[in-house]
Structure 1
Amino acid sequence: MSARLNFYGAAPKAMETMMKLSQEANASLEHSLVELVKLRASQINGCAFCIKMHTTDALKAGENVDRLFLLDAWRESHLYTDRERAALAWTEALTLLSETNAPDDVYAAMKEQFSDEEQVKLTLLIGVINTWNRFAVGFRSVHA
C-alpha cells in the first residue's frame, strides 16, 4: 500500500487547525482513558496507522499490555473500570453512529461516570479521532 496524498503538505493551514483541536481533545481527560478511546475508535475504523501510533503511545505511557490486547473484547474482560467501559461504549456508539443512533442506555451509562463538561470533552475526543482516522484511511497513511 502506498500513500495517496500528503494531507499536511496539501492543506497546511487546515491541518494546523486540526492539530490544535487534537491537542485540546488530548488534554481533556486522563491520559490512559484518552489512549483507550483513540485506539478503540481506530480499531473500529480499521486505521492501521492510528492503531500503531496509539498502541505505541499507550505502551510508552505505561499502559498494561493485556488491556491493549483485550480492548476489542472489553465487554468480556474485567480489566476495565466502569468509567472506561462507559467511555468505550460511547466511543463505539458515536463511531458507528449510523448504526447505533447513540442509544439512550449508552448515554445514561456514560452520564453516570462523566460530568457535563467531561461528556463534552469525551465527545470531542471521539469526534477528533474519527476525523484523524478518515484522513489516515482515506489518504492511505502508512505506519512505520
Structure 2
Amino acid sequence: MKHLRYDPYRAAPEAMEAVFALNKYVEGCGLDRTLLELVKIRASQINGCAFCLHMHSRDARTHGESDARMLLLSAWRESPLYDARERAALAWTEALTLISETYAPDAVYEEARSHFNEAELVKLTVAIGLINALNRLAISFRNVHPA
C-alpha cells in the first residue's frame, strides 16, 4: 500500500483553497446532488481513485443514493436503474474523463444536450473537470481513505 507523499493542503494552501472554492460552487450550482455524486463516482472508478470513491460513495448515501445503483455504476449501460438524464450525464462523464481517447464525440454531446440546457451542461462539464482534477491530486499525492 502506498502512503501519502505529502499534504498538498499544507504545501500550497492557496492552490487548494481555489480548488475547494470551485468545489463549493459545483455543490451549489443547482444540479441534482445525487446526479453529481454518480458522476463523481463514475469518473473516480475510471481513474482508479480509491480516496474519492470512498468519499463520494459515502456522500451519495447521505443524499439518498442506493447501494445497488452505486454498485452497478460501472455497468450503467446494462442496468435499468438509471434514467435517460443520468445516462446522458454518465456518457458525458466517461467521454470527458477519457478525452484523450474519445475527443468528446458529437453523438455523446448531442445526447447530453437533449437532457441538459446550455447552462446545466456547462455546470456538468465543470463538475466532471473538477472531479478529474481531484482524482489526480489524490492519486498523485497518495491520499489514503479512512478505514
Answer yes or no: same fold by TM over 0.5: yes
**72-81 vs 19-28, which deviates more?**
19-28
Count of residues in correspondence between the two structures: 144
Deviation at 1:62, TM superposition (A): 1.3
How much is the aligned-residue C-alpha RMSD, in angstroms? 0.6
Determine the structure 2 residue equivalent to 1:24: 25
Tell me which of 123, 136, 139 is aligned to 1:137. 139
User: What is the TM-score of this pair, normalised by structure 2?
Assistant: 0.97
Amino acid at match of 1:49: F
- Distance, in Å, in 2 between the alignment partners of 1:26 and 1:46 is 22
Deviations 1:39-96, CA, capped at 9 Å, x for gaps: 0000000000000000011112111111000000000000001000000000000000
Amino acid at match of 2:16: M
User: What is the TM-score of this pair, normalised by structure 1?
Assistant: 0.98
Query: Aligned to 1:113, what secondary structure does the other structure show?
Result: coil
- Distance, in Å, in 2 between the alignment partners of 1:60 and 1:120 is 25
Tell me which of 61, 66, 69 is aligned to 1:67. 69
Amino acid at match of 2:26: A
Give 1:45-60 correspondences, 5 Å limit: 45-60=47-62
Tell me which of 110, 113, 132 is aligned to 1:111. 113
Amino acid at match of 1:36: L
Tell me which of 88, 92, 95 is aligned to 1:93. 95
- Distance, in Å, in 2 between the alignment partners of 1:120 and 1:61 is 23
- Distance, in Å, in 1 between the alignment partners of 2:113 and 2:125 is 12
- Distance, in Å, in 1 between the alignment partners of 2:142 and 2:52 is 11
The sequence identity of aligned pairs, in percent, is 56
Deviation at 1:5, TM superposition (A): 1.3
